[in-house]
Structure 1
Amino acid sequence: MILIKFQKAVAIKIKTIYKKKRFWAGILLAQFLLFFMCSRSGGMITFFNRLFELQKKIHLSLFSWIPFSAGDLFYILLGIVIAYLIIGCLIKSKRQQSLLRILVLINLLYFVYQIFWGMLYFQTPIIKKLPSQKEPDYSKAKRLALRYLEKCRQTRQEVHEDKNGIFIVTDLKAIQKEILKQQTMLPDYISGKEAPQINSFKPSIFKTVMSYTGILGYYNPFTAEAQYNSQLPSTFLPFTSAHESSHQLGFAREQEANFIGYLIGTQSDNKELRYSTEYFTLKSLLNFIVQEDPEFVKYVIRNYSPAMKRDRMYEKMFVWKHQGLLDDFFGFTNNLFLKSNQQEGSVTYSYFIDLLLNYEK
């Protein structure tokens, strides 16, 4: 009898502890410390890489066949739950319970995110797998810019355009299939990751909002879907798809995903994918060079082909049309997110350029 009473008392005590906000706040702090220590361990990073390869296959098999974005639906439902809990916080009788549920939800989301994706930011950087150079080589960047100018001029002649002379993508499915094929042909010393060859590219439900935030696409770590903004100009669309597919492979850092997308696109026989990638590479090189030699950048832009100039103007019109407070806000928050995950800000091209120059070396 005494033992039964003791067990009941312990059970009540544990239940009471679980209902305390301090307990869940402590669990969240413990998670921060745990994953921080894991990020400093090579063995744990290897473990999370292997875990990602396993869950990647499972997620792709579970969600790729769904014709719409399951990840977007998850975010909508999550937004509804969060809104409900916030409203509960405003009601005095429900405040404590709602705050507790918010803490539990934060703990759960943070844990799942770190397990599925967050720890990949700490894997060995690609830059360490390439020959290194001490300082940015602007002269080499200029030579590459001129080379990619000629590549763009040539490839642009071989793609389709609309009645206004603007480049258009004619077969996005073929581009996606080509991206998956090129994933299997990446150099082993750079990638070494498994390419399941499962198409899980999804147009985002939030395409209009994305257009006003400057977001071209994103990877959903909860469903392994590569989301893209279907309203983008065609010059953006193929390379954005290659970039997001690089996240699917397991490259978390943004500029490394750009580099993998560059390898995928420039080696492709698909002219639409190749033009979009070459054009992205050229723009990135010019953005890198402009502070050092703005006159050179003006010279290169003047030597765009007439068709490339039309594409450039259409891009500028698209960006101008969708500029606003949302764009500024999301640019700011994205910079904070990138820097919190061992990355440079979203407007910095130097790491991608370092990778590009070292690879070309």
Structure 2
Amino acid sequence: MQQHKKLGIAVALLPLYFIIKYLGQYPEFIETYYSNGLYPILSYCFRFSFGWLPFSFGDVFYTLSIIYLTRWFFLNFKRIYKDTKNWIIDVFAVTTIIYFTFHLFWAMNYYRKPLHENLNLKADYSTEELIETTKILIEKSNFYHLQLAPNDTSMVLFKLTKADVMSKTPTGYKVLEKTHPHLKYTPTSLKKSLLSYPLTLMGFSGYLNPLTNEAQVNACIPVYKFPTTCAHEIAHQLGYAAENEANFIGFLASVNNPDPYFKYSGYTFALRHCLGELYRRDPSLYENVSTKINPGIYKNYQEVSNFWASHKNITEPLFRETYNSYLKANNQEKGMDSYSYVVALYVNYFISKK
């Protein structure tokens, strides 16, 4: 009887896949009944259940799961040849449960309406609009840089600890909540990942655990990157699965935070995206505009680049390509390149404020 149940669960994987893809064709339905219906309830319950823990329950769960699965494959290796049918059923049954749970708890958010539609923003922009936005971001970045650094050639040295940043991050969301009620963030569940060093080797600043809804931040990254990374992972928690959208919301939460270190981190974060897009469109325009940036800002950028360069290893490209494939399989056709599309949100956001 138990094996019949396993077979039923295993066989359900294929129809489950097609059901999810079918529902994914109706973003209005997902937006209404999942992203703004079921998901906020699930997210609240998970954050209430695990947010109070001083450590990442999800990291512990992942570690124990990897150990268990490794042990299971080792103990059941001979079954591949001796009991092939039941071995395959066991594997597919577990895969079905994980696939169903993953989409139920979080991943259906990949199929929701694009953020620019909810914010009534355009999805495209001209080079002239990009230049205008980049100049605004340069002005803002230079202003906060000079508030925090002794001169325009010095990098900003954060006086906040990483723990300070994590405790202050929800404040930006409290400000946003006044104009965007759907960004209400309570209770909190923001943790330093216990797996921070492995995340560093894989090239990731953080991640959201979809099974416990804990926002995980890589504790190894420079503190300068902490405000936007924490805010980015919270955006994922609130149901914004697309990386470009989480980047934009992370930017908004950072620049709306009253702390100047957050504002500096947020504006320079957006500025770097816009500079990259401007260079891609017209290197000569990039050279002209970028000369207006305080040299000290480039030193903060270099700090981050040096950090990642110092941890470069042969496995990083493999993990990044795996994640790239994961994004493409979850309704992000551009994969990791979709990060650049956040520029459209920045540009049209600033245009709308004129």
Q: TM-score band (shorter)? A: 0.7 to 0.9
For 1:346, which of 295, 319, 336 is the aligned residue? 336
2:19 corresponds in structure 1 to 34
Tell me: higher relative CO, structure 1 or 2? Use CA pairs within 8 A at least 6 residues apart: 2
- The AA in structure 2 aligned to 1:313 is Q
1:46 corresponds in structure 2 to 32
SS of the counterpart of 2:147?
Answer: coil
- Cα distance, 1:135–1:112 mapped onto 2, change above 3 Å: closer
1:73 corresponds in structure 2 to 60
- The AA in structure 2 aligned to 1:61 is F
- The AA in structure 2 aligned to 1:48 is Y
CA contact (8 A) 2:161 2:223 kept: no
Residue-by-residue CA offset, 1:316-336 (whole Å, 9 max, x unaligned): 211211222222112211111
- Cα distance, 1:258–1:134 mapped onto 2, change above 3 Å: closer
- The AA in structure 2 aligned to 1:27 is A
Distance 1:360 1:117 in 2: 30
CA contact (8 A) 1:175 1:270 kept: no
CA contact (8 A) 1:166 1:314 kept: no
Residue-by-residue CA offset, 1:177-217 (whole Å, 9 max, x unaligned): 4432332333788x542624323111111111211222111
What are the equivalent positions in structure 2 for 1:121-200 lying under 5 Å apart?
121-131=110-120, 133=122, 135-159=124-148, 167-168=157-158, 170-186=160-176, 191-193=180-182, 195-200=184-189
- Cα distance, 1:136–1:206 mapped onto 2, change above 3 Å: same
- The AA in structure 2 aligned to 1:241 is C
- Cα distance, 1:24–1:138 mapped onto 2, change above 3 Å: same
- Cα distance, 1:127–1:19 mapped onto 2, change above 3 Å: closer
Q: Select between 298-307 and 332-341 the one with higher mean Cα deviation.
A: 298-307
Which structure has the bigger radius of gyration?
1
**Gaps (5+ residues) in structure 1?**
1-13
**Sequence identity of aligned pairs in percent?**
25
- The AA in structure 1 aligned to 2:248 is F
Q: Select between 259-268 and 305-314 the one with higher mean Cα deviation.
A: 305-314
SS of the counterpart of 1:313?
Answer: helix
TM-score (norm 1): 0.86
What are the equivalent positions in structure 2 for 1:1-361 lying under 5 Å apart?
14-20=1-7, 23-41=8-26, 42-43=28-29, 45-49=31-35, 50-92=37-79, 97-131=86-120, 133=122, 135-159=124-148, 167-168=157-158, 170-186=160-176, 191-193=180-182, 195-343=184-332, 344-361=334-351
Distance 1:255 1:140 in 2: 19
- Cα distance, 1:111–1:353 mapped onto 2, change above 3 Å: same
Distance 1:218 1:266 in 2: 21
Once the two structures are TM-superposed, the CA of residue 225 in structure 1 deviates from its matched residue by 0.9
CA contact (8 A) 1:38 1:44 kept: yes
Count residues with an aligned counterpart: 343
SS of the counterpart of 1:67?
Answer: coil
Residue-by-residue CA offset, 1:251-301 (whole Å, 9 max, x unaligned): 111111111111111222111111111111010001111121113333444
Distance 1:187 1:359 in 2: 17
SS of the counterpart of 1:227?
Answer: strand
Distance 2:178 2:16 in 1: 34
- The AA in structure 1 aligned to 2:39 is F
Q: Select between 346-355 and 62-71 the one with higher mean Cα deviation.
A: 346-355
Q: CA RMSD in A?
A: 2.5
- Cα distance, 1:186–1:165 mapped onto 2, change above 3 Å: closer
Distance 1:299 1:212 in 2: 36
- Cα distance, 1:210–1:298 mapped onto 2, change above 3 Å: farther
Once the two structures are TM-superposed, the CA of residue 356 in structure 1 deviates from its matched residue by 1.5
SS of the counterpart of 1:186?
Answer: helix
SS of the counterpart of 1:226?
Answer: strand
Once the two structures are TM-superposed, the CA of residue 159 in structure 1 deviates from its matched residue by 3.0
- The AA in structure 1 aligned to 2:341 is Y
Once the two structures are TM-superposed, the CA of residue 135 in structure 1 deviates from its matched residue by 4.5
TM-score (norm 2): 0.87
Once the two structures are TM-superposed, the CA of residue 26 in structure 1 deviates from its matched residue by 1.7
Residue-by-residue CA offset, 1:67-112 (whole Å, 9 max, x unaligned): 1111111111121122123224422457655443322221111111
